Chain A
Amino acid sequence: MKLTGAQILWECLVREGVEVIFGIGGGAVIHLFDALPQYPIRFVLVRHEQAAAHAADGYARATGKVGVCIATSGPGATNLVTGIATAYMDSSPVVAITGQVPTPVIGTDAFQETDITGITLPITKHNYLVTRVEDLPRVVKEAFHIARTGRPGPVLIDIAKDVQFQETGFSYPDQVHLPGLRLDFSDDENVQAAADLLRQARKPLILAGHGVILSGAGRELRALAERAQIPVATTLLGISAFPESHPLSLGMAGMHGFYHVNQAIQEADVLLAVGMRFDDRVTGSPSRFAPNAQIIHADIDQAEIGKNIRPAIAIVGDAREVLSKLLQLVPPATHPEWLAQIGQWREESETDNPLNENHDGHPLPQYVVRQIWEVTQGNATIVSDVGQNQMWEAQYYIHDRFNSLISSGGLGTMGFALPASIGVQIGRPHETVWVVAGDGGFQMTIQELATVVQENLPVKMAILNNGFLGMVRQWQELFFNRHYSGTRLLGPDFARVAEAYGIPGFTVREKDQVTPILRRAMEIPGPALIDFHIHSEENVYPMVAPGRAISEMIRRNSYQTV
């Protein structure tokens, strides 16, 4: 029996286990949409294609499965670009499907034609333009394989319109032939050498990144840390790889890492960095990063080894596999002096903690975040946006549940949180999902409130509203003599905007309203939005100025370089 290209695409997706796709239709995918209702795939209609890519990304991060988004040719495809780049930078397995103008007119600047494979070349792991219906099954098979294999990432499939209605016999390949796609794993010698270093260490430290979450290595990480009594710091995307209330947990490192975290990195003698890539937001000045440490770098992507930091020992491999092997080789140990030293630094960190201060009037954002943690009993999945809100969330929500923070780290995409939360909530239908965003980022994709309502998703939304593009304003305050150029934001009444979409909306202007309103929002079975009018010039502290060593931090109390 012959099937059309459109039918073949959906047959392939069903075989790949796809249950939901996010997108918007259009002329160049109209045949695909015509065939879609025949298949057991939920379609989520978003309001802008960027949101489709973020939702697919959020779904992928929340479930570990490949997220799928779809858009038409031309502007539909180009609108996906920010979302694809976000997924690429954060190694998220996404397959993006776009329609292309019919094969005979490709290259003629036809209506809604754009070279989307050319455009997405640098921001996809791989991409395809399908001009023959016979190629479609192989391409889909390869795309899903590439997206989820090794270091995950987005793959785009651009399908010419005529391919979608051409017919051919269908069979789905059971394996892929990709000689250039290799999975490396280091020799056991390297793992043994790493274990030896860890055994001899007096001040060991683990720095865990997103790779630990992507590989599902939470148990192995915890077992290794406990076995050898090694404290664990994380990157932003490594948050929730290790339970944050664990005595060995230090928290997030880097530009906005707490004093004790960065101090421990700078003093450590052996640093096991696993599933992370030494981003500049983590290392500060790379030449002055962890100056006393022999660094063991374990990552699944060989190209990350030596890219930013030269390690003493490199292990190429999946984080879970690496940690399992280390667990067998590293003997039990204790480091009482080292942990006591870190305990002292931790006390020092506490002197910066604004939650220890009395305040009234506008709530402090740190307090709002901590109260979200209280009312959710730490059980929520948080989807944070980008900027100050993201850092306050990272600092003051205590993530004990594995993979409970979803955020745009590498690309730092404002507007990520709301659309991503759609995918997260669909991927985790029985969990409480909270968006934590600023008033700036929220307005970048605010139209997705309609999708939340149409899909009946109980997403809770907290806007930390300071009337500024807050992180940029903070930089202007600290480094540009309070020259607030282009950062003052006039926002809408978010509660009334929410109400207009049919979502209960609340406004909180006083600290003592924070918890009662949070509780009310939690009691509402569907979505709810709270607009928190926070202190407008509150900053994220500590802060490491760009190019400085991570120990050179501007702290809340001193307001000067320590």
Chain B
Amino acid sequence: MRHTLVAMVEDQPGVLNRIASLFRKRNYNIESLAVGHSETPGISRMTFVVEGDDRVIEQVQKQLYKLVNVIEVWDVTRMPAVVRELALVRVGCPPEQRGEVTELVHLFRARVVDVAPDSLIVEITGTEDKVDALLGLLKPYGIQEVIRTGRVAMVRGNHRSSEPTVSSPQ
């Protein structure tokens, strides 16, 4: 099963390399990884999508914790969470098809962010399913280029985040 993990890590050179090295060394299967600053200066927030059974995911979290630069890890897979991905899509589109493509884009609450004579760039934010669905519909027009950020997640509710899921041993 695919799990969504969130990790708070010290923003220091080489941290991403340490985490990538850990996944490679332990033969964990990482599907996507998104990194950015968090609300705390000096702390970055990473969102991983990892494929594996519960036992593997437990190991992934525990091994992540062993990295000195990793401060907290949560598995938000089974928590109520806002999960999003952003994609930019360059779709082939002669002027006569602009209308119908734009209509599709609006149906998905996506946006056209660039217009060229024979193509458009579409920006969409949503779950992976939603992005996949739009890509499926745009495919017949000719998708020339896609960039997807990978999943980011935040737990719903008024707590900043939930308790780390493996900080206290079971």
Name A residues whose Cβ lies closer than 8 Å to a Cβ of B. Answer: 117-118, 121-122, 125-126, 129, 146, 178-182, 184, 186-187, 190, 301-303, 305-307, 314-316
Contact = CB atoms under 8 A, between A and B. Distances in A.
B21 A121 contact: yes
Given A117-B14, A314-B170, A303 B68 contact: no
B17 to A, nearest CB: 7
B68 A178 contact: yes
B30 to A, nearest CB: 16
B10 A301 contact: no
Interface in B138-170: 166-170
Given A122-B22, A129-B13, 9 more contacts: A122-B21, A126-B67, A180-B10, A182-B65, A184-B169, A302-B62, A303-B63, A306-B59, A315-B169
Contacts of B14: 117, 129
Contacts of A307: 59
B34 interface: no
Nearest to A184: B169
Contacts of A306: 55, 58-59
> 10 closest A-B pairs (Cβ-Cβ)?
A303-B62, A316-B169, A126-B68, A122-B25, A121-B21, A180-B71, A186-B169, A179-B71, A180-B70, A180-B68
B71 to A, nearest CB: 5
Nearest to A179: B71
B32 interface: no
Interface string B5-31: 000011001100110011001000000
Given A179-B71, A314-B169, A118 B17 contact: yes
A146 B68 contact: yes
Contacts of B125: none
Contacts of A315: 169
B78 interface: no
A302 B59 contact: no
A314 B58 CA distance: 14
B21 A302 contact: no
B18 to A, nearest CB: 6
A399 to B, nearest CB: 31
Contacts of B65: 180, 182, 302-303
A302 B166 contact: yes
Contacts of B58: 306
A154 B2 CA distance: 34
Nearest to B21: A121
Contacts of B18: 121
A314 B166 CA distance: 13
Contacts of A126: 67-68
A118 B24 CA distance: 13
Contacts of A190: 169
B69 interface: yes
A181 B68 contact: yes
A179 B10 contact: yes
Nearest to B61: A303
A179 B10 CA distance: 9
6 contacts: A125-B66, A180-B10, A180-B69, A187-B168, A305-B62, A307-B59
B169 A303 contact: no
Nearest to B18: A121
| B55, B68, B69: most-surrounded residue (chain A CB, <10 A) | B68
A182 B167 contact: yes
Contacts of B63: 303
A307 B70 CA distance: 20
Contacts of A316: 169
B169 A302 contact: yes
A438 B22 CA distance: 35
Given A184-B169, A303-B59, A314-B169, A121 B68 contact: no
Nearest to A301: B66
Contacts of B71: 179-180
A314 B65 CA distance: 18
Contact of B67 (A129, A179, A180, A187): A180
B67 to A, nearest CB: 7
B62 A184 contact: no
Contacts of A186: 169
A122 B63 CA distance: 12
B169 A305 contact: yes
B150 to A, nearest CB: 23
B143 to A, nearest CB: 36
A560 to B, nearest CB: 36
A303 B55 CA distance: 11
B169 A125 contact: no
Interface in B18-57: 18, 21-22, 25, 55
A167 B70 CA distance: 32
A88 B21 CA distance: 16
Contacts of B66: 125, 301, 303
B113 to A, nearest CB: 36
Contacts of A302: 62, 65, 166, 169
A118 B166 CA distance: 28
B17 A121 contact: yes
A430 to B, nearest CB: 37
A68 B168 CA distance: 33
Residue of A190, A301, A302, A314 ringed by the most chain B CB atoms within 10 A = A302
A439 B69 CA distance: 43
B66 to A, nearest CB: 6
A126 B10 CA distance: 14
A57 B167 CA distance: 30
A156 to B, nearest CB: 12
Contacts of B55: 306
A58 to B, nearest CB: 25
A295 B167 CA distance: 22
Nearest to B26: A122
A519 B154 CA distance: 71
A274 B58 CA distance: 21
B61 to A, nearest CB: 9
A301 B55 CA distance: 16
Contacts of B21: 121-122
A126 B70 CA distance: 12
A305 B17 CA distance: 26
Interface in B102-150: none
B62 to A, nearest CB: 4
A209 B46 CA distance: 36
A413 B125 CA distance: 52
